[in-house]
Structure 1
Amino acid sequence: MSAKGYRQRCDAGGISYAAMIARILLLIALIGVAPMATAQHWIRENARPGDLTLAAQGRVAPVVIDPADHAVVAIAAADLRRDLATVTRATPGGDTQIWIGTLGKNAAIDRLIADRRIAIGTLKGAWESFLIASVDKPRAGVARALVIIGSDRRGTAYGAYELSRAIGVSPWHWWADVTPRQQASLHVAKGLRRFGPPSVKYRGIFFNDEDWGLVPWAAATHALQEKPLGPKTYAKVFELMLRLKANLLWPAMHKVTQPFNADPANAALADRYAIVMGSSHAEPMLRNNVGEWTAPPDDFDYVKNAPGVQRYWADRVATNARYESIWTLGMRGIHDSGMVGPSTIADRRATLERIITDQRGMLDRAGIADAPQVFTPYKEVLDIYRAGLKVPDDVTLMWPDDNFGYIRHFPDQAERARSGGSGIYYHLSYLGAPLSYLWLSTTPPALIREEMGRAFDRGARQMWVANVGDLKPAELATDYFLSLAWDMEATRAQPIDSFVEGWAAENIDAAQARPIADILRVYHRLNFDRRPEHLQWHLPGEKARQSPLSIAQADARLADFAAMEQAVTALEPHVPGDRQDALFELLAYPVAASAAANRRFFAAEAHDRLRDSDLAEAVRRGTIAHAADATLRALTHHYNREIADGKWRGMMAVEPADGQWRSYRLTPPILPAPDALSAPASVPTIAPLHIDPVLAPRQFAVTKGWRLGDGLGRHGAILAATGAGSSVTATITLPAGQWRAVVDILPTYADRDSDPLRLTIAIDGVAHRLAVPRQTGDRDWAQAVLDNRIALAVPVDLPAGTHRVTLQSADPGVLIEAIRFEPVNTTGRLH
């Protein structure tokens, strides 16, 4: 959308052009500026002494493999050849070659190793590792070779795609229309480069709730000749996974989707791409229950119908035993529901133990007893586990988050000692209570870092899976999740802005990477405050109620959104034409759509509030709400029908997309009757706001035992305790009146779900111990995940003047967003 269009929309929202520019500059200044991300420098256009030349003067090094190598190596090599041709527009030839091979599967590379031409070190036997080295005269007629050696089949493929990425081909080149930059010459800096092993053994994604994007798009646009989802779609998925160094997929599983194994070509394709297949916590033994269990749901009962259920599972073991898979053990209901049959915790525990024993027996009889197996204590199954469920030691325990990005349980000492290890199932998209978030991707990368980093430090390193919904538009969050899984220490050592800046440089435009990272910082901050899918403050089934924001507060929020939109408009003309589609998909659409959703909601709410007191202003607000609704339709039409020549038709659906699953989804917004509305006669200024005093994390003098976490929360950082014995202090001066401190924390968990979160705060030397119970599923939890905040009031009134505030201690996992000071009225209540 053009800059003029953005400006017209923002003006309709009641914000002046100049005010928007000033506000976005202020937001960026307040939050801070990220350092420039470090680019990869081992591939360059201009040669230096000792470099190996891959492309020059119209010729590019040919890619050579051994036909005896794995199928995925041939696939990766073919993709690399295409990538080299796309980037250089050169013809293969010359006296330099690119050799790609797996240890023990490439005779020419094995000879180089045997002749000690390459020191592979600990590569042999390593998991999914590779090295890249240059070799002079590797054989007669070849002057030099760039040799990529993998420890196993995926390691080799990752190596080929690592070279593709280094020459400028983004992993998202197809999925986000990231056109590679042309480079006539390519030179490799001298030196040997080692990669791997990964921080987490199995790293993957889960397509879920695919009804509104992935399946309609595949059925109507991408793969019209096959039932969705089929091999044509999964081939694109598998390529992306290899480019992101992922290795595990839980396939889509709703009723609208053909079960993955219903078409044998899918499993065969996954094997060719060396992708490990698994299934979700609700689908034991690689079975898609909603599509494959054809008997009545009540028959999916192991107490009454064990033989029937066993046959159902054994059939899948027989067909898929030859493939690399992770077998989900246990049993739940047909569609992500509780187990049918036993009614008490004790009976459920006994039944599950019997089920797991029988399932492992099936694997043993098929000759794959040592295949990786996983058990996920999700929702009610966690209660059964805690009641003493015995899970075999070599089975991975997969710990879930609460569906909103906050992990419920972290491995204790006994669980860390298990040979099967622990994993994490993490949501970047969710359909369920209290309200779903299926449309835009708004989980901040910093929250992913905090939660997954904490899990990693506590030993959850065997298996990570992110629920990515339809994948688009969760590109950044997916990339960051998998980057942490591949190399935890290097990834989390980067400030969030640095990572995002590097990602923006790779996928949108290096020249605009800094402002793009600034915009995405504000985008995540505003939408962390309230996701666009959560723009209602009553829970499903409750009486509707208005938001707690005054009209002036809502206007200030909308001004921040409008300023963010204008920042996109300002950089849009500077992005190259062949990256405009990527710009729209990765930045402009989520920014503009989230802004329009907020404008629609708050303008409609203001109309209702003002209808009886200021009819003219109410009418003006109603007009803004309708304009925002039209903007959402236009943006989504542009995404689905116009960008990339209509490639994404059917992919994007504004929440709520339809009337399905109404109990879990946003109530459709009610807009004023259009006939009574008219265009606004003037553009008012934003009403002045009273800002209560706040101590933000950066105002504390951080010492040993505490740390600042960047990129998270409403104030740009969070404060967390890292050890006992230290405290942090700040001072604040309160204006006239009586005040009460409120500590805002994120709704994280103690190491164990249901344990309270505790912290101690001292004000003017008087300590106050605060605690909040955390019970997943209750109303307090529901409100906390929608607000992304828990407010803990300190039970003491403070007069005007200067006060010393000390954070003395906090439990592991407590993330402090700010300490606010709210005025107290004459009755002792907070205003």
Structure 2
Amino acid sequence: MKSLASFLVFYAILTLSPQAKEESFQIVHKSKSVPIIFDRNDAEVVAISSNAMAEDIKLITGIRPEISSKPKPDASAAIIIGTLGKSAMIGDLIDRGKISKGLLDGKWETFLIQIVKNPFHGLDHALVIAGSDPRGTAFGVFELSKRLGVSPWVYWADVKPAKRRDLTVTLNQVVMGPPSVKYRGIFLNDEDWGLQPWAAKNIDTDIKDIGPKTYARIFELMLRLKANYVWPAMHKCTKAFFYYDENPKVAAQYGIVLGATHCEPMLRNNVDEWQKNFFKEYGSKPGPWRYDTNEKEIKRYWNDRVKEVADRKVDAVFTVGMRGIHDGKMPGPKSTTGKIKLMDKVIKDQRNMIAEHFKRDFSEIPQIFCPYKEVLQLYQQGAEVPEDVTIVWADDNHGYIRQLSTPEEQKRSGRSGVYYHLSYWGPPEDYLWLSSVSPTLISYEMNKAYAYGADRLWVFNVGDIKPAELETEFAMDLAWDIEAWPPEEAADYVEQWAARTLGQSFAGEVAEIKAEYYRLAASGKPEHINLVSFSEQEAGRRLEAYQAIERKAIDLKKRIPAHLQNAYFQLIYYPVICAAKMNEKHLYARMGDHGRSQDAHSEIKKLTQAYNKELAGGKWDGMMSMNPRNRPVFGMPKIQNRETPQEASNTSIKTINVSELQFDSSKLQVIRGLGVDGESLSRIRFDGLSYEDAGNAPTASIRLNLPAGLRRIKLVCVPTHAIHEGRSLRCSVKIDGRQHKVLDVNSGSKSKKWTKNVIRGYSSAEVVFDLKKGGSVDLQLALLDPGLAISSIVVY
């Protein structure tokens, strides 16, 4: 476990605390900064990141370093930035043995940061940032900025660094990379209520849309987060990414790899380019979106984009396959066999286009196939996906991955990846307002995916980016280094994040608030609370818990420094208070308390108005909607006379927390922050065996005192899915040495049972034993399948 104390010591060694083994480098001293030097022949992203770091240093000290392409005669020190093979200065330092080529050569997105003595004539020493490729160089630049105290969210959440007159960095040689996941990125989605109106009003005001100025801001954020891949915004309120000629140019300048969603093959935006602007491009109306009847027109449409991407040398990943025009089923034959045959032809034709225009082997051009929703069934029933294509598995839209690669699929040269939601529009219900998917759940699911070969591409649906800042940063940190935050340690992330974002003195309090925020959301997201039933006692406890973190958030706001007030409001205060008020609005209404319910609704309105009109001088005007899509949960609920209890007829004898169980810690572990009860029991190895014999499986047990009679045992579990086809989520239950009974909590995605599970935040299964006599008995659980996470055991 990474304690905050150990993290702060580690972080201090790498930044500002003098240590005997480290070297110090003064960047700003006595109102003067060392210059920043980079080769003008290097990639544009190196110039962009170098200038951004100059602005970061100015933000801290008020002094902006001079930027040049060669050492200045009056400077004794400098920051030297460059890419292996593109910077003459970096090449010279390697030739003279000042830095090691072997640390970088041939590696993907790797960088070093090192203090070098006498790098060139006239320079006594230099802080050198060298990358194996241009993105690696940029990542190194922004890593240094982060270590100097500039948050990745310096613009996007107004996390302003503390002011200092002098600036010194103390470090040993730093080498980071290659990343665990090759392509790591975000999907800008459901932008209708935030990102698009905000960008149109405040950033790309000339085109009133999400355009190149907005994307420049987004791409800088991505580089600061060590992300390299984007699915651009694609709703009908936004023009297609390629509609504005500057958009792909900006992506190239920032070194960002372009992709497109599961329903946008060949980098085409169908909603805009097929439905709305086809006539503008081709001078005629499009025919039907059916490849079996309109192959020629659709093929031309795809082929033109592939040619454009190849001619412009756009760095891209192509999505292959076909769905409806926008997130719907592929039109075509009615039979499954016919659909599969058509899908196979689509993919073959698409790959021929890629080969024709890129003049290279298929495997050299990254391609993905995303078996999302109904496409998963076509794939499972025989659709052929060439082995060099990366299969991007999707979660069930609520944070639980539906399926991962089988042993045979893990042999594919294209490997696999994951499309994962931090924000979602769709059934059974949206969650577009607040972000409440915990780092622990993200780590649990993505570590499981990584164990089954999903190391090629991760893309996270982040909606409008805000307010998913913390969760997005965690996702990118995990994608960069899968070993940094395993599930058993992920609950500690928030404290470390808060220490570097809002300050060490507030980190513990922020972590406590967010831990409870995540726990409460696990049993009913703020956007789903109108759909979840609670007994009067449960509702009372829930209100008390929310009001406790509300008080803590209000108290902490009084002590946050002035320069971080805007950041605190965005990152902590607004989501926590609004989640509390949403619960108060609905739960008080069920209790018949109209006054408190209305007050809570009014407070959400007030805070949202402040977010848009007052925060940072109105900078975020248009970004925050308190009622995206006008779903019923956002309105005033009907006032009821009383609460209808959930499972009112059930009387539990005992609820057992998993931390009370006895087990072999080399096989099982309790994961804090996972599940509706705040902790869950899971097997340590995701890639372990499935057992048929409970006697061979990892077990957990507890001694109970139970009365005689029929005793129903209920397992409350995290609503995960079986890891892949042919597996389940089984647990064997045994009382007092009797014959075991096997339960399976796996549920088919989109089933009624699944719908209930994801809304209330848990799956469950029950078994009944007849105890002939009361007294002390042993309850034993055998976890037969990996991926099963048990949150609690209830005895009725």
TM-score, length of structure 2 as denominator length: 0.91
Note closer, same or farther for the CA distance 1:574–1:115 as it changes in structure 2 (3 Å cut): same
Note closer, same or farther for the CA distance 1:492–1:645 as it changes in structure 2 (3 Å cut): same
Q: Paired residue for 1:588, among 566, 570, 573?
A: 573
Tell me by how many angstroms 1:331 deviates. 0.6
**Which residue number corresponds to residue 712 of structure 1?**
674
Aligned equivalents of 2:586, 2:775: Cα separation in 1: 39
Aligned equivalents of 2:777, 2:525: Cα separation in 1: 34
Q: What SS does the corresponding residue of 1:806 show, helix, strand or coil?
A: strand
Q: Deviations over 1:372-417 (max 9, x none)?
A: 1111111111111111111111111111111111111111122111
Which structure 2 residues correspond to residues 189-268 of structure 1 after superposition, within 5 A? 189-268=170-249
Q: What SS does the corresponding residue of 1:132 show, helix, strand or coil?
A: strand
Q: Paired residue for 2:296, among 307, 316, 329?
A: 307
- Percent identity for Structure 1 against Structure 2: 40
Tell me by how many angstroms 1:320 deviates. 1.6
Does the alignment pair 1:702 with 2:663?
Answer: yes
> In the alignment, residue 621 of structure 2 is paired with which amino acid?
R
> In the alignment, residue 748 of structure 1 is paired with which amino acid?
T
Note closer, same or farther for the CA distance 1:735–1:668 as it changes in structure 2 (3 Å cut): farther
**Which residue number corresponds to residue 373 of structure 1?**
367
Note closer, same or farther for the CA distance 1:289–1:92 as it changes in structure 2 (3 Å cut): closer
State the Cα RMSD in Å: 2.3
Does the alignment pair 1:548 with 2:515?
Answer: no
Q: What SS does the corresponding residue of 1:335 show, helix, strand or coil?
A: coil
Does the alignment pair 1:670 with 2:637?
Answer: yes
Note closer, same or farther for the CA distance 1:456–1:258 as it changes in structure 2 (3 Å cut): same
Tell me by how many angstroms 1:313 deviates. 0.7
Tell me by how many angstroms 1:189 deviates. 2.9
2:670 touches 2:682 (CA, 8 Å); kept in 1? yes
Note closer, same or farther for the CA distance 1:56–1:802 as it changes in structure 2 (3 Å cut): farther
Aligned equivalents of 1:491, 1:214: Cα separation in 2: 30
2:367 touches 2:390 (CA, 8 Å); kept in 1? yes
**Which residue number corresponds to residue 543 of structure 2?**
558
Tell me by how many angstroms 1:441 deviates. 0.4
Aligned equivalents of 1:745, 1:82: Cα separation in 2: 49
2:660 touches 2:702 (CA, 8 Å); kept in 1? yes
2:227 touches 2:476 (CA, 8 Å); kept in 1? yes
> In the alignment, residue 7 of structure 2 is paired with which amino acid?
T
Tell me by how many angstroms 1:181 deviates. 1.3
Q: Paired residue for 1:78, among 26, 51, 54?
A: 51
> In the alignment, residue 682 of structure 2 is paired with which amino acid?
A
Note closer, same or farther for the CA distance 1:666–1:625 as it changes in structure 2 (3 Å cut): closer
**Which residue number corresponds to residue 785 of structure 2?**
811
> In the alignment, residue 271 of structure 2 is paired with which amino acid?
V
Aligned equivalents of 1:325, 1:772: Cα separation in 2: 40
1:35 touches 1:497 (CA, 8 Å); kept in 2? no
**Which residue number corresponds to residue 327 of structure 2?**
336
**Which residue number corresponds to residue 526 of structure 1?**
520
Gaps of 5+ in 1: 1-31, 538-546, 608-620, 677-688, 823-831
Higher mean C-alpha deviation, range 64-73 or range 729-738: 729-738
Does the alignment pair 1:355 with 2:346?
Answer: yes
**Which residue number corresponds to residue 124 of structure 2?**
143
**Which residue number corresponds to residue 731 of structure 1?**
703
1:95 touches 1:142 (CA, 8 Å); kept in 2? yes
Aligned equivalents of 1:769, 1:435: Cα separation in 2: 32
**Which residue number corresponds to residue 765 of structure 1?**
737
Q: Deviations over 1:593-614 (max 9, x none)?
A: 001000000111111xxxxxxx
Q: Deviations over 1:272-321 (max 9, x none)?
A: 00000000000000000011103678711100000100111111112222
Q: Deviations over 1:400-457 (max 9, x none)?
A: 1111111111111221111111010111111111111111101111110000000001
Does the alignment pair 1:445 with 2:439?
Answer: yes
Q: Deviations over 1:306-350 (max 9, x none)?
A: 010011111111222211000010111011000111211111111
Note closer, same or farther for the CA distance 1:420–1:268 as it changes in structure 2 (3 Å cut): same
Note closer, same or farther for the CA distance 1:745–1:235 as it changes in structure 2 (3 Å cut): same
Tell me by how many angstroms 1:368 deviates. 5.1
Note closer, same or farther for the CA distance 1:667–1:176 as it changes in structure 2 (3 Å cut): closer
**Which residue number corresponds to residue 306 of structure 2?**
317
Tell me by how many angstroms 1:83 deviates. 0.7
2:499 touches 2:506 (CA, 8 Å); kept in 1? yes
Q: What SS does the corresponding residue of 2:107 show, helix, strand or coil?
A: coil
Q: What SS does the corresponding residue of 1:293 show, helix, strand or coil?
A: helix
2:715 touches 2:793 (CA, 8 Å); kept in 1? yes
**Which residue number corresponds to residue 644 of structure 2?**
none
1:36 touches 1:501 (CA, 8 Å); kept in 2? no
Q: What SS does the corresponding residue of 1:429 show, helix, strand or coil?
A: coil
Larger RCO of the pair (alpha carbons < 8 Å, separation 6+)? 1
Does the alignment pair 1:38 with 2:23?
Answer: no
**Which residue number corresponds to residue 787 of structure 1?**
760
Q: What SS does the corresponding residue of 2:50 show, helix, strand or coil?
A: helix
Which structure 2 residues correspond to residues 591-740 of structure 1 after superposition, within 5 A? 591-607=576-592, 621-655=593-627, 657-659=628-630, 666=633, 668-672=635-639, 693-703=654-664, 704-721=666-683, 722=685, 724-734=696-706, 739-740=711-712
> In the alignment, residue 304 of structure 2 is paired with which amino acid?
D
Q: Deviations over 1:670-696 (max 9, x none)?
A: 3459xx9xxxxxxxxxxxx99852111
Higher mean C-alpha deviation, range 103-112 or range 186-195: 186-195
Aligned equivalents of 2:167, 2:19: Cα separation in 1: 11
Aligned equivalents of 2:615, 2:559: Cα separation in 1: 18
Q: Paired residue for 1:746, among 718, 739, 743?
A: 718
Q: Paired residue for 1:577, among 562, 576, 583?
A: 562
Aligned positions, number: 750
Q: Deviations over 1:712-739 (max 9, x none)?
A: 1233211012455432212234579864
Tell me by how many angstroms 1:264 deviates. 1.1
Q: Paired residue for 2:153, among 157, 172, 177?
A: 172
Q: Deviations over 1:124-180 (max 9, x none)?
A: 110000011111111111110011110001000000001000000000111111011
Which structure 2 residues correspond to residues 413-562 of structure 1 after superposition, within 5 A? 413-492=407-486, 495-537=489-531, 547-562=532-547
Tell me by how many angstroms 1:658 deviates. 4.1
Note closer, same or farther for the CA distance 1:456–1:51 as it changes in structure 2 (3 Å cut): same
Aligned equivalents of 1:297, 1:719: Cα separation in 2: 54
Which structure 2 residues correspond to residues 39-78 of structure 1 after superposition, within 5 A? 39=8, 40-45=11-16, 47=18, 50-78=23-51
Q: What SS does the corresponding residue of 1:38 show, helix, strand or coil?
A: helix
**Which residue number corresponds to residue 24 of structure 1?**
none
Note closer, same or farther for the CA distance 1:303–1:504 as it changes in structure 2 (3 Å cut): same
2:16 touches 2:170 (CA, 8 Å); kept in 1? no
Aligned equivalents of 2:578, 2:119: Cα separation in 1: 55
**Which residue number corresponds to residue 383 of structure 1?**
377
**Which residue number corresponds to residue 125 of structure 1?**
106
Q: Deviations over 1:57-96 (max 9, x none)?
A: 2222211100000000000000011111211223647421
> In the alignment, residue 41 of structure 1 is paired with which amino acid?
A
Does the alignment pair 1:821 with 2:795?
Answer: yes
Higher mean C-alpha deviation, range 732-741 or range 205-214: 732-741
**Which residue number corresponds to residue 616 of structure 1?**
none
> In the alignment, residue 710 of structure 1 is paired with which amino acid?
R
1:36 touches 1:514 (CA, 8 Å); kept in 2? no
